[in-house]
Structure 1
Amino acid sequence: MSFRPADRVYVDESKARGYYVVATASAVGDVQTSDRALRALLKPGQRRIHFKSESDSRRRQLLSRMCELEVRVSVWIVRQRSDKEARPLSLGALAEQAARNGVAQLIIERDESLERADRRLIAEVLRRAGTSDMQYRHAMPHEHPMLWVSDAVAWCYSNGGDWIRRVDGIVKSRVTQL
């Protein structure tokens, strides 16, 4: 698994052609450098990178730069289930792994309609794990550039083919749940 003690983990998902939850892990000491490198990729007037809004040539350029960062990415894939079933399965598995590995902080891209359920789910996972050390919160993507890496990998996995190959260098684990 790609989580290490005291990591910060940034989570986003894609709901296209399956359900993909992606977690980008980084040592706390590497986050500032990665954030700076990612912000340097913004176009004038752009607040965040959102992969579905980029052209294919820009996507290739962005992925090349993202794969140079000191990050470790994990992907949870759920197919043949509704989003309502898939999210707690994948996010729950991610939170369990994060708690087990001593992750310091989990930052999840904000979707206000899901926040309450996410908080309940993660609190239950931490209770079962017998720990309260891991902090977790929801954030807007412009607040944490590392969320852009999770967004990019989620987009690549939902689009398949060569896009998955392009992120192989940073994807350290993949879990498929049916």
Structure 2
Amino acid sequence: MPPRPRARIHTFVDENKTRGLLMAAASCPASAVSINRRTLAGLLMPGQRRIHFQKESPARQRKILAAITELDTATNLYATPRADVESRRRCLTAIVRDAARTGERLVVERDESTLDFDRQTLYHAVRIYDCVETLQYELLAPHLDPLLWIPDALVWAWAKGGEWREQVRESCTTRPV
């Protein structure tokens, strides 16, 4: 039997540091990337360069979450009780671990304060999980790829709790760090 073709998955990562560190890794098949980007870009208000979920009104937040939950995506959540560098390393490494087998592209929202640390962590993680040749990673500003708005919204909703978490619960899976 010939080997199964490798799935081509793109994963987009953002974080919330409200209570510890919570990272969201939203994944979608490569074949769905373009349509998902168009859908999200269509949610922009005139003059908006990006969606920054916490800055939206509650009505817009509900509309955005409703659209996101209809997309062909799945989101893994990685939580640690502290938002320190070791926790960040553990979360990013776990994200690479989970993307290593099927991932083609990993995009982490760029944070200038952790840029060098994130690059170093991802460099080591792709070697630990033997996906140097198969998983391309990059750190991007959120306005450069609308798919970064998915983990931004979902990580905010999950961290907020209550009705917000309930709205995204079926779209999110908690994963060990």
Q: Is the 8 A contact 1:18 1:77 kept in 2?
A: yes
Cα drift, residue 29 of structure 1: 0.9
Deviations 1:63-110 (A, max 9, x none): 11111111111111111x2432321111111111111x2300100111
Q: Structure 2 regions of 5+ residues with no counterpart?
A: 1-5
Match of 1:34 in 2: 36
Q: Is the 8 A contact 1:20 1:76 kept in 2?
A: yes
Q: Which amino acid aligns with 1:65?
A: A
Q: Does 2:115 align with 1:115?
A: yes
Q: Which amino acid aligns with 1:22?
A: A
Cα RMSD, aligned residues only: 1.4
Match of 1:24 in 2: 26
Q: Is the 8 A contact 1:18 1:158 kept in 2?
A: no
Match of 1:8 in 2: 10
Q: Distance in 2 between matches of 1:22 and 1:41?
A: 21
Q: Does 2:129 align with 1:129?
A: yes
**Identity level (%):** 35
Q: Structure 1 regions of 5+ residues with no counterpart?
A: none
Cα drift, residue 42 of structure 1: 0.5
Q: How does 1:1-178 map to 2 (within 5 A)?
A: 5-79=7-81, 81-99=82-100, 101-132=101-132, 133-171=134-172, 173-175=173-175
Q: Is the 8 A contact 2:94 2:176 kept in 1?
A: no
Q: Distance in 2 between matches of 1:82 and 1:15?
A: 6
Deviations 1:112-161 (A, max 9, x none): 22121111111112222233121000111111111101000110111111
Q: Is the 8 A contact 2:17 2:83 kept in 1?
A: no
Cα drift, residue 176 of structure 1: 5.3
Q: Distance in 2 between matches of 1:82 and 1:140?
A: 21
Q: 1:87 to 1:60 in 2, by over 3 A?
A: same
Tell me the number of residue pairs that the alignment of Structure 1 and Structure 2 aligns: 171
